[in-house]
Amino acid sequence: MDIMRRYISDKKTMNLIGVIIRSYESPHQDGKGIPIGALTSQLGANIVLTPFDHWIKGENHILFYARYMDDFIILHNDKLYLWELLCGIENYLRDNLKLNLNPKTGMFPGKNGIDFCGYRIWPTHIKPRKSALKRAKKRLRKMARMYRTNPEILEHAKASIMSFFGYIKHCSGWQTTKSILKKAVFKSGKSKKPALPDNALQGQK
């Protein structure tokens, strides 16, 4: 809350933020936490980690650093330097923000691509994360099965597919997308003609 007050001066807004924070308690940490997935969580992560941004860029002069909410990446060609920096980051977050790094935090060679914000990123191309494709395939197949007895879910299925298109359009994954959609055939018991994915593919590239 102290950090939030540095950037938000409106008292009513701060009171609302306080109510939201106090109303939630993580089942894993007594008396701590904010509700995951809420817009207030995204706002909180962006603001509370702002001092960390300044520490990374201003005091450590890191050139290649990017953060989205509570996920961040640092690129450097000296592995020893990165290990030392990682130790410094752990100390800074613990001592200044009372935060700990996710246990999944690690160091990886750039040739394997960077796993960031739901994508696998290389200097020349971007691919969708395998886990995201797996979830999409499972979700669409489930909807296709439900559609056989409940055609009313078609609009919900279309919305889900368009959301997936929004994700895919930022990377090289159109061939994979077509493969997923072709295996999720939406046919009701009364019609032999599939409602999806043909309709969903119209106008897509």
Same domain, residue pair 103 and 189: no
Which pLDDT value is given to residue 21?
A: 80
Q: Write the pLDDT tens digit of every residue in 57-73.
A: 999 999 999 999 889 99
Q: How far is residue 116's CA from residue 111's CA, in Å, rounded to a whole number?
A: 14
Q: Write the pLDDT tens digit of every residue in 179-198.
A: 777 777 776 655 555 555 54
In sequence order, which ranges of 149-201 are alpha helices (DSSP H)? Answer: 154-168, 174-182, 198-201
Containing structural domain, residue 156 = 128-201
Instruction: Choose one of 121, 152, 174: the last residue of a domain.
Output: 121
Same domain, residue pair 142 and 183: yes
Same domain, residue pair 65 and 102: yes
Instruction: Choose one of 121, 149, 169: the last residue of a domain.
Output: 121
**Looking at residues 9-17, what average pLDDT do you find?**
91
Same domain, residue pair 50 and 132: no
Long-range contacts of the stretch 105-110 (C-beta < 8 A, 24+): 107/79, 107/82, 107/83, 110/75
pLDDT band at 205 (very low <50, low <70, confident <90, very high): very low
Which pLDDT value is given to residue 167?
A: 87
Sign of the Cα torsion 72, 78, 79, 83 reads negative
Same domain, residue pair 132 and 110: no
Same domain, residue pair 33 and 72: yes
Instruction: Choose one of 121, 141, 164: the last residue of a domain.
Output: 121
Which pLDDT value is given to residue 188?
A: 65
Helix (H, G, I), strand (E, B), or coil: what is residue 54? Answer: helix
Q: Write the pLDDT tens digit of every residue in 126-153.
A: 998 888 888 888 888 888 888 878 888 8
Q: Taking the complete model, does pTM exceed 0.85, yes or no?
A: no
Asked if 160 and 146 touch (Cβ cutoff 8 Å), the reply is no
Ranked by mean pLDDT, the top range of 1-10, 72-81, 136-145 is 72-81
> Quick check: 31 pLDDT over 70?
no
The gap from C-alpha 63 to its chain's centroid, in whole angstroms, comes to: 23
Same domain, residue pair 10 and 73: yes
Same domain, residue pair 87 and 18: yes
Q: Write the pLDDT tens digit of every residue in 100-128.
A: 998 889 898 988 888 888 899 998 899 98
The gap from C-alpha 60 to its chain's centroid, in whole angstroms, comes to: 26
Same domain, residue pair 8 and 102: yes
**Looking at residues 143-172, what average pLDDT do you find?**
84
